[in-house]
Amino acid sequence: MLRLIWKNAWRSKRRTVLTIASVAVSLFLLSTMLCYLSSGEKQLENSAGSLRVIARHATSLTFFLPEAHVAKMATVPHVTSVQACVWWGGQIEGMENQIFMSTIASDLDPLETMWDDYSFGPGAMDALRGELRGAVIAERLLAKLKAMKGWDIGQTIRLHSPIFKHDIELKLVGTCKGPDESILLFRRDYLEKVQDNPGRVGYCWLRVDKAENIPGVCRDVDALFANSDAETKTETEKAFMATFMSMMGNIKDLVVNIGLAIVVTILLVAANTMAMVARERTTEHAVMRCLGFSQGAIAFIFVAESVLISLLGAAVGVGLAAALYTPGRYDLGGFAPFFHMTPATTGIGLGIALGVGIVAGAVPAVAAARRSIVDGLRRVD
Amino acid sequence: MSDVLVEVAGVTKEYRRDDQAITVLEQLSLTIPRGDFLALMGPSGSGKTTLLNLLAGIDQPTAGRITVDNKVITGLGEGALAKWRSRTTGFIFQLYNLIPVLTAYENVELPLLLTSLSRAERRQHVMHALDIVGLADRAKHFPRQLSGGQEQRVSIARAIVVDPLLLLADEPTGDLDAKSAEEILTLLQRLNREFRKTIVMVTHDPKAAARASRTLHLEKGKLVEAAA
Ligand SMILES: Nc1ncnc2c1ncn2[C@@H]1O[C@H](COP(=O)(O)OP(=O)(O)O)[C@@H](O)[C@H]1O
Ligand SMILES: [Mg+2]
């Protein structure tokens, strides 16, 4: 029986190959999009369970907070530490579109307790304390820069910032490793010095003692600065990440819609093929039923053929994606650190192929099974 | 066990086209004893294929009743009929109707896939059937690698492999040259005599009909017996 299904599928080699190819191409595209979506989800997920909240200017992320806010925030009950940061947005001359770096100027003292999900290279923190221009870089980002520019620890690098319109010179003194693999961290006191002490803070990370106190802390911090010159908006890391990512271009809906369009396209291609196949097999189906094959058996064999073809397409398309999108290979220059195939994305791709195969085969299969045997036998082609 | 294998009692078959009903078979009755080799003759459009289809349980009469081996098959559901067909009848078509992507062996094996036989048992049955039709050495050939006569012999092997009670052949020699036709008729005759198969064969050819033990003429939906 399996033999028959297999052989049937290859009757018209050209047609089957073309169908498999179109299913493969579509599912490859779909896998690509799923990777993109799951990368974003993973980033959000990583920040979901944290005890960090972020306080920023109520109007927008692009407005600064006065430095005096930092000490006041530390007095809010249940806040265990406060880390003032500035998103500096560093870029490498000539490589603006190839490398994405989360270039952040930060206070040093709260760093290690605040970011307990990161590990710092041996001596990295001490080196940073001892070197005003020092910077700590994510291992993955360093590896990339090593390959592209030959940079390594000890190197002094020069970056410019489209936000602040000035350059800065940093010395790479150590590495770190954590969820954000595009981190480049340097000292905020150095940035203050370079900028002539404006006393500006981009945003503050606050660590809360217990998860259940997070909502209260958010409320209290915002209440503290209510009606001041710089009101704050304090939210959880996850909520902040979501806003941040939507600022980066909310194309999630678009991606989902294109994905759906792709699924419909594969379905149409497969359904068209199977309808053609059913028409050609009319006499044969009648003959097989004459031999005693039931309507169910005929329909099953037919659907199995359809499923086989679309799963072969999926094996090629999803397989290619799995081979290509290995962890860390394509991370959109560091912006999408989790852009790779996971068991879930592979499963979704195969699941869609299975569904497409069943649906595309089912309609002609039922029609074929219902057709009267006598009519099927009378048809002369 | 009664001597009658097939009992056709007052069978009428009408086809409805738009508002018009065409009566193809009218109040037809017929008894076929076990071991019979019956030839059905008659002009084109006289309802021979229709009658054969009714006997094969792939079509239902408008009125009347058909009994095969003491089982009334008229009015059986499609599922029950399929099961019944797989065990009771073997059908031989004018155009052989082998599955082109399967070898002779696999074509003959097809009806056995519906049984609970093991692979080895199936092999035994298939080779035996191919042996009877004289094509054991062509087991691995595909239909397109066989002549018309050989294809028809494979189709006969497929029809007898489940050892059915009743063999139904619709113009089995209609598409063959004289020599191949002779071989097929000899084979059918042998199946009838040696293996005691009951055969109903539709044919246009008087020479073919002469090989049967008796001949019935169908004219305008009614039977007329003629001397064998
Ligand atoms: N599905 C059908 N619908 C309408 N008329 C049919 C159908 N099948 C057969 N007929 C008619 O029934 C008559 C007998 O057909 P058939 O049994 O094939 O004749 P024979 O085999 O003797 O040539 C013909 O007139 C044919 O046109
Ligand atoms: Mg006919």
**Are both A67 and A203 inside the same structural domain?**
yes
Chain centre distance of CA A70: 33
- Give the pair of three-digit tokens for residue B1: 């066990």
pLDDT < 50 stretches in chain B: 227-228
pLDDT above 80 for A1: no
**Is B58–A289 a contact, with Cβ atoms under 8 angstroms apart?**
yes
Instruction: Return residues with CB closer than 5 A to ligand 2 (ion).
Output: B 49
Q: How far is the CA of B32 from the centre of ligand 2 (A)?
A: 20
- Token pair of B22 as six digits: 């065409």
User: Which region, left, alpha or beta, applies to residue B108 given φ > 0 means left and ψ of -120 to 50 means alpha?
Assistant: alpha
Residue ranges lining ligand 1, Cβ < 6 Å: B 15, 17, 22, 24, 42, 44-50
Condensed to tens digits (0 to 9), the pLDDT of residues B94-137 reads: 999 999 999 999 999 999 999 999 999 999 999 999 999 999 99
CA dihedral B100, B102, B106, B111 (to 10 degrees): -50
- ipTM summary value: 0.93
Distance B96 CA to ligand 2 centre (A): 14
Domain termination residue (choose one: A173, A195, A230): A230
Strand partners, A87: A104
Which position has the token pair 């520019």?
A149
8 Å CB contact between A4 and A301: yes
Chain A residue numbers with beta carbons less than 8 Å from the beta carbon of B113 are 1
* Domain endpoint, select from A230, A263, A290: A230
CA of residue B151 relative to chain centroid, distance: 16
The residue with tokens 């870089």 is A137
CB contact under 8 Å between A290 and B58, yes or no, is yes
Nearest ligand (C-alpha, residue B23): 1
Q: Is B99 left (phi over 0), alpha (psi -120 to 50) or beta?
A: beta
* Size of the A and B interface in Cβ pairs below 8 Å: 67
Confidence of residue A223 (pLDDT cuts 50, 70, 90): very high
Edge-to-edge strand list for the sheet holding B89-92: B89-92, B166-170, B198-202, B37-41, B214-219, B222-226
Q: What three-state secondary structure class fits A103? A: strand
Q: Which residues pair with A233 in a beta bridge?
A: A56
Ligand 1, atom nearest to B16 Cα: 4
Residue B40's H or E segment, with its range, is strand B37-41
Residue A113, pLDDT score: 85
Give the tokens for residue A316: 């090629």
Count up the domains in chain A and report the number.
2
Would A49 be classed as within a structural domain? no
| Domain co-membership, A204 together with A323 | no
Provide the domain limits for residue A115: 59-230
CA distance B227 to chain A (A): 31
Burial (CB < 10 A; 0-12, 13-18, 19+), residue A211, is: exposed
Instruction: Answer for the pair A334, A182: CB distance below 8 angstroms, yes or no.
Output: yes
Which of A137, A90, A80 shows the shortest CA–CA distance to A110? A80
Q: Same structural domain for residues A130 and A198?
A: yes
Q: Which two tokens stand for residue A8?
A: 């049937």
pLDDT recorded at residue A48:
58
Domains of chain B: 35-61+75-225 (3.40.50.300)
Does residue A50 belong to any structural domain of this protein? no
**Rounded to whole angstroms, what are the CA distances from A191 to A106, A135, A155, A339, B35?**
9, 12, 19, 32, 106
pLDDT per residue over A329-352, tens digit each? 776 655 666 788 888 889 999 999
